[in-house]
Amino acid sequence: MSAENRETRNDVVLSASNLLLKFGGIVALNNVSVDVRKDELLAVIGPNGAGKSSLMNCLSGFYRPSSGDIKITSGSIRHMATHEVAAQGLARTFQGTHIFSGMTVIENLMVGRHMHMRTNLMQSFLHFGASRREEVQHREVVEQIIEFLEIEAIRHAQVGSLGYGLRKRVDLGRALAQDPSILLMDEPMAGMNTEEKEDLARFILDVREAKKIPIVLVEHDMGVVMDLADRIAVLDFGRKIAEGSPKQIQANPEVLKAYLGEDSQ
């Protein structure tokens, strides 16, 4: 193995190999393999029904592939439940806003800290001693995230009262509250207007720059993808048909065919 190949291999923090996922007679993923490298943003794109969300569901433990493997630096996570995958450092934001609308912004972010809490149920119920000290520590982390995402003014607001763009920002904040080593973002900008997309894109860049967290991004907005991604993997009908830099993907005839339905010539 060459020095270059060894370096690339050591740089991989998440590896999905030969994933096969079926729903009855429908093949959602057909021998799909992707690697995520340290401190990069990998975008996954493709037409509707290409298998993008199925891939994200496999990576985060919501779906279990029929065959293939998913590994992080500590080993295989293919057979782990969702909470076990999260405990390994994978956090996810969702296509919708899967947050607690009846709770405040701070309360939603504290939910993201739950897996790091060590006090038992009785200590939490009585709310003294170790439990109180631990809550203060986690609250400090949450306040740092609130400042990072510039949502200080709404920290005590009920999430259900917020606009869609702010709710998506809270969703990102809850994922960051997990202290993830890898961040999965499934169509984070779906339903947003141009201004909201620009704001969220800026925070995604800030996450990469300040926290050095590798990101897997599924997104339909090709302008956003081309601006943010280091590499792009393209799915079509459950198969990976291309992978490369944004420039390479833009010029790939098979990708153009998948999106346009015909060759670009």
Could you give all domains of the chain from N- to C-terminal order, each with its CATH number?
3-100+164-260 (3.40.50.300)
Please, what are the averages of pLDDT over each run of 10 residues along the chain (265 residues)? 47 95 93 95 93 95 94 92 91 79 90 69 49 76 93 93 90 92 92 90 92 93 93 96 94 85 48
What confidence score (pLDDT) does residue 60 get? Answer: 93
Per-residue burial over 91-126, b if 16 or more Cβ lie within 10 Å, else e, is: bbbbbebebeeebbbbbbbbbbbeeeeebeeebeee
Helix (H, G, I), strand (E, B) or coil at 54: helix
What is the distance between the terminal CA atoms of the chain, rounded to a whole angstrom? 39
What confidence score (pLDDT) does residue 191 get? Answer: 85
What confidence score (pLDDT) does residue 129 get? Answer: 55
Token reading at 121: 């149920």
Q: Tell me the whole-structure pTM to 2 decimals.
A: 0.85
